[in-house]
Amino acid sequence: MSERIGHRFRDTGLLQQALTHRSAGTPHNERLEFLGDALVNLIVAEALYAHWPRADEGALTRARAELVRESALAPIARALELGARLTLGPGEMKSGGHRRDSILADALEALVAAIYLDSDFETCRAAVLPWFQEAIDALPPPNKVGKDAKTRLQEWLQGRQKPLPVYTLLAETGEEHAKTFQVSCTLTQPPLVAEGIAHSRRAAEQIAAEAVLEQLAP
């Protein structure tokens, strides 16, 4: 595991604590998670500051939020194969906690803190930054970060003085507590249509807008 995460622990107890969920008893990783959250934000913020020397505070803040949110941290934890190393209580094990985004993201933050406490900030940054580098390099231009698909599509059309899209509810199925919405997004100039399906109408519209944007991409 040392090769995968980029750090060889002197104190293996820190590593074990970082990978122990509170459901398994104490010592668990919640205090480490608290510290790791701050460290991840600092490491990513510093990297973005260097990556975008002309970006304003708003763009940097939005980009950092994109990179350190739960849904971004969990895939990193999976790539590091943390799920298989987690220590969970019986209930969490039975419910598949080792696959849950929230538990994986928390464990990743705790791992960052454990690396820091086992070494120093420079060593921690050297180990952690490569986990995020691909995502940083793949970021869109600063003025596009953090904008949802419907906003980006609207800006694309307005910038070319074309009519705005029309979103149409095609179907609404399922029980009241678990409805599924099917929505279309239609453009007249250029003539394009795409559909999205989700458990809320808003989410379905976003999926449809994203599909249209993919068709518009060169």
106 is in an annotated binding site: yes
What are 149's two structure tokens?
């698909």
Catalytic residue among 3, 11, 30, 37: 37
Cα end-to-end span (Å), the chain: 41
Does residue 109 have an active-site annotation? yes
Contacts of 24 by beta carbon, 8 Å cutoff, 6+ apart? 87, 88, 89, 92
DSSP state string for 66-130: HHHSHHHHHHHHHHTT-GGG-B--HHHHHTTGGG-HHHHHHHHHHHHHHHHHHS-HHHHHHHHHH
Does residue 210 have an active-site annotation? no
Looking at the chain, the number of H-run helices and the number of E-run strands are: 10, 3
Which 3 state secondary structure label does DSSP give 61?
Answer: helix
Catalytic residue among 46, 101, 109, 148: 109
33 is in an annotated binding site: yes
134 is in an annotated binding site: no
> Which amino acids are annotated catalytic?
37, 109
Binding region for Mg(2+): 33, 106, 109
